């Protein structure tokens, strides 16, 4: 795949990059509860890009898959909020104490599944989209 293809899905990852670089490195704040929602949202944006550019012939799962990834984003956001509340409580004593919290596992589990779904489908469909774009450009240059 081309650099342009990877740039298309790298741009929606900016909220994740802001959490790491802005909040974590610049402000020196704990980013543990901030990362899951942008990770999960990244998968949703990838799916929205793919399925707005490419119609999967004979498949009806595209909308269902996007709604499933959106649900994972919602669950990740809610449990990340609960994780943030835990981190503000007296029970938080570092990352190891967060590992014993179920909200950590739900937030990061939903985020991982949501983003992996998007990446898998990107690797699967982006070559088809790029080939269609090349074909359309070739047709347009012959017409004009």
Instruction: Provide, rounded to the nearest whole percent, the portion of the chain with pLDDT above 90.
Output: 53
**Centroid of chain to Cα 44:** 6
Which of 36-45, 87-96, 130-139 comes out lowest in average pLDDT?
A: 130-139
Rounded to the nearest 5 degrees, what angle is found at the Cα of 73, between the Cα atoms of 71 and 74?
65
Rounded to whole angstroms, the Cα distance separating 26 from 105 reads 26
Rounded to whole angstroms, the Cα distance separating 107 from 76 reads 4
Q: What is the pTM of this model?
A: 0.86
Rounded to whole angstroms, the Cα distance separating 58 from 16 reads 34
Residue 34's SS3 state is: coil
The answer on pLDDT for 41 being more than 70 is yes
């Amino acid at each position: 795949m081309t650099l342009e293809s990877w740039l298309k899905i790298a741009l929606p990852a900016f909220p994740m990059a802001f959490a790491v670089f802005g909040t974590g490195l610049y402000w020196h704040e704990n980013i543990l509860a901030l990362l899951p929602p942008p990770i999960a949202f990244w998968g949703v944006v990838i799916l929205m890009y793919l399925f707005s550019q490419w119609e999967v012939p004979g498949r009806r799962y595209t909308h269902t898959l996007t709604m499933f990834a959106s649900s994972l984003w919602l669950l990740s956001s809610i449990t990340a909020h609960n994780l943030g509340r835990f981190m503000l409580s007296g029970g938080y004593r570092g990352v190891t104490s967060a590992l014993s919290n179920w909200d950590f596992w739900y937030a990061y589990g939903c985020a991982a599944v949501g983003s992996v779904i998007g990446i898998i489908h990107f690797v699967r469909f982006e070559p088809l989209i790029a080939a269609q774009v090349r074909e359309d450009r070739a047709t347009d240059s012959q017409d004009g």
